[in-house]
Structures are given as C-alpha cells and as structure tokens.
Amino acid sequence: MQNSDFHPDLKTWPCEEARKLVKHLQNVPADKPALLETGYGPSGLPHIGTFGEVARTSWVKLAYEFMTGRQAKILTFSDDMDALRKVPGNVPQQEMLQAHLGLPLSRIPDPFGKYESFAAHNNAMLCAFLDRFGFEYEFASATTYYTEGRFDAALRRMLEVHDEVVATIAPTLGQERRATYSPVLPIHPETGHVMQVPILGVNADAASVTWKDPETGRNFETSVLRGGAKMQWKADWAMRWYALGVDYEMSGKDLIDSVKLSSKICRILGRQPPQTLTYELFLDQNAQKISKSKGNGLSIEEWLRYAPPESLSQYMFNQPTRAKRLFFDVIPRAMDEYLANAEKLLDQPEEMRPANPAWFIQKGKAGQETLSPLSFAALLNLASVANVDAPAPLWKFIQRYDATLSPETHPYVDRLVGYALAYYQDFVKPDKRFRQPSEQERQALQDLATELAKADPALSPVQVQDIVFEVGKRHHFTPLRAWFGCLYEVLLGQKEGPRFGIFAALLGLKETVALIEEALARPPSASSAVPDA
C-alpha cells in the first residue's frame, strides 16, 4: 500500500495521523524511516499513561507503514539526566534519596539495590513493561546521548541562538525567573548537581557557559559538550527534535504550551518541528484528573486483574483527544467492544481492516486467538445469577449453551471466565440491588415465565430474544427498553445487562423461569439483598 489517500474510508484516528505524517515527510527520501518518539520521565515507575502513549504511537506507526509501504521506528526516550527535585513517596530509602536531591537521576544510587542507579532501575522497569506488551521500540537514554556527544552539534547550535531562545521563553515566565533564565543547566564539576543558576556568559565558539556557584561564590566556565550541561525542559525537547530529526510525537493536554514553545525553538535551531497530537488526560470516577501523587484512578495492574490487555488497548484506542473516565466500570464495555471488533475483523477485506480498532490491537493481523462466542457481559451476568466463585460451575452453564466449548478448546474463553469471576466478586456482587416489580412488570414477568416454560429448550438465543420482545410489546412498555430495564433490575439486581435472549439460552430456559419465579416471590423487605445460590 503506497498511497496515503488509499481508501479514504479509513478514518480511524491512527490513519488520519498517518496522513498528516505523510504530508510532513513529503520532501523526505522514501528510504528514510520516519522517526516517532515517546518520552518517559524515570523519576517514577511506568504506569497506565505510559502504556497509552506507546500503544497509540505504535498504532500511528502501523497505519503509516500500511498506507505508504515505508518504514518507521519508535524511539522511547528516557529523560534520565534530569535532576531529582522531589522524592517519590512509593520507593524505599527515602532519606538516601533526599540526600541526593539535585543530582541527575542517572547518578543517584538505586533505592531498590538492583541497578547502578535509580534511573537504570526505572529504565529497566520501563523496558520490561513495554516488552511485556510486545511493543516494538528502540530505547534511548538522555545520559548516554549527552555524555557520548550525540547532542554536541545541537548543543553548539543552541548556544549560537541562545539569546533568541531566551527571548522566546522569557515572556512565559514570572518576572523574577525571567530576569535570570537560560536554557542551559550546567552540571557542577565538583558536586555533580544539575545547576539551575543564572548564566553570566555564553561562548558559542568554545561551546561553554560561565556561571557562579551560589554556595561558594566561585565562577565556573563549563563546556556544554559530552554531558557537561543539559538543557532545560522546553529547550531540551526542541534540541532533541532538532538533533534526532523526530517526525512525530504525541503528548498530553497538560503539555500544550510546552509543545508550542518547543516547536518555536526547533524552528529557531533550523528544523521543522515534528507532527504532533495532543491527547486528553484521564479522569477518575469523580471526573477529577488522575494524578500519580494522589493515587486516584486505575493502575494497569488493577485493570489486568479484571480483563486481558486487549480490553485496555481498546479503551486506549477510543477517542484519544477526548477526556475519559478511567475507572473499574469502564472495563466490561471495553472488553465487549474489543470482542465485537475482533469478530468483525475476520470478515473485512484486507485493505479495509485499518478501519477496525482490532486490526491495530492485533498488530496488523486478523486472528482467532482472542475471539469469544460469549460476551464478557454475558459471563458477568451468568456469574451473578449463579453466584459462584470458581470457573467449574460456570463452565457447566457454558457447555449447556454450546457443548463444543471447553477450557481446553477455547482457552481465551476460559481466561475471560476467570476475569469475569474476579470482576463479579469485587464490583458486581457488593452493589447488587434488586427492586420490586410494578404491577405492569409483574404481569409481564409472569407472562414471560409462562412463554419460556412451554418453549422448546433447544431454541436459539435469537428465538428466545424474539419471545422476550413479544412479551414486552404485548404489555405495552413504552419505550421498549423499559422492559429490559425491568429484567435487569428485578431479576439481576443491576442497571444493565446482556441481550436477554443470549443470557436466557446460556442460563437455560428452565433456570430462567426459576429466576423469574424467585424474583416474583421475593418479599419487599428482601428487595435489596443478594439471594443465595
């Protein structure tokens, strides 16, 4: 596929981003790989936001390669030469870290005692994290790039345009800092600290800066080359784009101003800035921005306790430029959305598969390894009605629905069973609230029980669903979804549920009739309780 306009119906956002990238690279030789960058701050461990950024960038790369036939690579860059300004609260040896504040992260001992530095530990955790999900990337360390001289030419250029860079950033700063700002942070030759001090002089020819130690009053002239200094954040980002020729990078909404300023600096240095995408931040259950320091929201480990990685990828894929709640209640819908997309993908022509999120999640392939004939919602509701805490009883119902299914022949379904049980025990069961039916609902439920009792047990889920629809219409539910709301709230003790025909066929018609009769016999005082199995 070598045309960026190939199949304009491919309107998934990675394809749209790939088109922008193609336009950005229109004057670049076809044999030069596009460079897509992701950033990582190693003062903390990788988290769900790290997953989202690398996953989304990977999908843009995949779309670009599909649409152009050209190569692209992802560079995951760790800012491990940054100074530790604040001790993170979730690591050991707090006093030791406190004593090393101001040093580059790559020069601070590892509080876990496993690696040569704190940065090396977190970088290793990052690579293990990304490898766990099968991402294709090249890792880069700021310390390595600075000290090996890979930024030297760009640093010389930064000193040549030093005053212009200062004039660009200074208006965005407070009055006090504006008076002393420089993009250069020299490394103290004796203490190793990253010095945020006024720069007294810039010598572009010698690639050095002059500054005064505020503690001793001594003046130093420091070369900016080979790790003698690093750049402040916005200038550092721009310098990296310029030095490496970065073509694409996405970032969160909180960095909008940084992107604008870094883009201006990149142009001053002499290169067009990369194509960018601003993604929205995640919100917790109270619509508050998720913060690592607050610990609100949902961690990746917590998500993966209740659903497989494909569900998390589906959640990350959806509408990256819109703010979304990241809490436990989004997991079932994301799981079922992925299952529906994965099934649909098998029947799509190859050239149209990038219109489907599952194609990206499956790394450009269409496979059957992550398919399930049962929705996650159906498994949840079956667990809810059966009130079980082990897979074996649940599998008895599943095999009644389809005798060809088993843990051995359908291991992915078996995984989903385990996830569904964990989710049910922790989130559904504690919140189940049964309500009493109205008179209209009571009559309709009695009618449904009668119809299901005389129906052929071998009816298909679609045929059972037809019976449910007919009973609802016969009892004049307006709108008809109010009838299904009744079924969920009265029979299952929850606000939502699966297609009832599929659920009834899965549970069994006889068992569904018993479920209805039990609900109709439930005394009002027990309406909010969870019945025993």
Q: Which residue positions form the known binding site for ATP?
A: 292
Percent of the chain that is helix, strand, coil (3-state, to 5): 50, 10, 40
Q: How far apart are CA 98 and CA 205, in angstroms?
A: 38
Q: How far apart are CA 301 and CA 50, in angstroms?
A: 13
Q: Which of 428, 497, 509 is nearest to 464 (CA)?
A: 509
What DSSP designation does 203 have? E
Q: Would you call 136 helix, strand, or coil by DSSP?
A: coil
Q: What are phi and psi of 282, to 5 degrees?
A: -85, 150
Cβ-contact 231, 239 below 8 angstroms: yes
Amino acid code (one letter) for 278: T
Q: Would you call 7 helix, strand, or coil by DSSP?
A: coil
Q: Would you call 499 helix, strand, or coil by DSSP?
A: coil
Query: Six-digit token pair at 12?
Result: 């998934």
Cis? peptide before 186, omega within 30° of 0: no
Q: What are phi and psi of 98, to 5 degrees?
A: -60, -35
Strand locations in 199-296 (E): 199-203, 208-212, 219-223, 229-231, 248-252, 275-279, 282-283
Q: How far apart are CA 41 and CA 311, in angstroms?
A: 26
Q: What are phi and psi of 178, to 5 degrees?
A: -60, -35
Taking the CA atoms of 303, 63, 267 and 145 in sequence, report the sign of the dihedral they define: positive
Q: Which of 363, 366, 305 is nearest to 335 (CA)?
A: 305
Strand locations in 22-121 (E): 34-40, 72-78
Amino acid code (one letter) for 447: D
Q: Provide the annotated binding site.
A: 292
Q: How far apart are CA 226 and CA 223, in angstroms?
A: 8
